[in-house]
Structure 1
Amino acid sequence: METGEARARVESALKAVREHPFIVEAAAGTLTREQAIRWVCCAGRESRSFPWILRMLLTWIDNERVREILQDNLDDELGNGDPDDAHFMHYVHLLDNLGVPRAEFDSYQESTGIRHALNLAFNMAACRRSGWAIGYMLVNEAMTPITYEAARGALLPKFPHLVTNFFDLHVEVDEHHVAALYEAVAELPAEESAALAFGISVGQRGMELLLDEAYGVLDYHTEKIDIVADRWNPASAVA
């Protein structure tokens, strides 16, 4: 498959994410400490799950070049043999540098944003549709420069002495992954074009949900909605 259409769709997805209020306000320096820390908690949970996503993909993708690309990604996620250098541990060390107790990270109550984002990720990994999975992975990795630069911008005003190598490292590694994933796109048959586009849209949706939670979009109604309860029945509503 030619990669030109995929690149255009990824750029469109990246444009939409750049317009999310979390990203916009991070650039303006107007996010709160709570919003910045919530991003770390949400992104850390996504990072903790990511090796499982890659392992699941490796159980069913049979194209040898694509398998090599995914294995390389997994090796990076796991620290290339050094558990202390695993990507998830970088989030834990970032919390230490921020002076945030690990108990605050461990006790963070996931809202519907990160839960839905993780459900999307696991479903893409289990779908056995190469186009969906590669499209999801591609846009997920391509968004790193946007989201990490925003997080850095959100955190530095609150923590001016923060060492930001964490962000630079992830951006550099994920740029390599994106280039490799475009090789994976080229391995797809042309008839997977629509599936690839759908996977890209799911990746965009997952990132927007994570940012929604970090920003606070999902703070206003947190109880479970029982759609058959009387309170949701229009016939029982007060005129």
Structure 2
Amino acid sequence: MANRLKGKCVLLTGGVANIGLAILDSFVAEGATVAVVDIDEKRGMEIQSRHPRSVKFFRADLSRESEIREVVNNAAGWLGGINTLCLNAGVQLSGNIEDFAMEAWDKVFAINVRANFVFIQESLPYLREATNSSVVLMSSLAGKRGGPGLSCYSASKAAIIGLTNSLAIELAKDGVRVNAVCPGWIDTPFNQPIIDFMGGKSKQDSVVQANIPLGRQATPNEVAPLFVYLASDESSYVTAQAINVCGGAYN
């Protein structure tokens, strides 16, 4: 099906690599207009040049509240409003709790939680003004079950699930739906910190084989379609959900 997102004005964070790039490509293929926010200007401009009519890149450091608020309004100006907010940007840092620096904890929560809160807060006037508005946040299976070395990352992703549940209820009266996507093992460089903590790829492979009924990792292209669905009007009665994409690893 084509043009499932025709007329959607999307602000997408973290859309220049890994799952975010797969989301961007899927959104464009389905007819959306996308403002991509990321710190990697080189990749962002390359992506914009590939989709000059439907994509515009905006650089921002998501650890800086002022830059988030400015970029939301600049993106809304280019888009002509925002009816879809897709918050994919994140960072993963892994380590034993006794060795985990508070600076690292603060960095993870600044990007994974605080930045998303500010994006939603600043985007609300645009989302409320639009119809069939949707907010889709990137959480993780780690936010539901955790694991060794993932205490900080899991806590940040659990916070996203809590944020999703609360805002879905709070914003329902405004016609704004809020959902989260919870990927399990996805084959991207994003997971390298936890792979290193586990002892390398061979150890990761054995964990995947032992714990995932489908017996493999997913690709980013197997996650992106759920973002398309949640951004589309097909999911008009879906809100307050944290949906797993995990190969059966968690029920």
Give the TM-score band, short-chain normalised. Answer: 0.3 to 0.5
Higher strand residue share = 2
Per chain length, whose mean CA-contact separation is higher, i.e. which structure has more relative contact order (CA < 8 Å, sep 6+)?
1
Structure 1 or 2, whichever has the larger Rg, is 1
Provide TM-score, normalisation by structure 2. Answer: 0.34
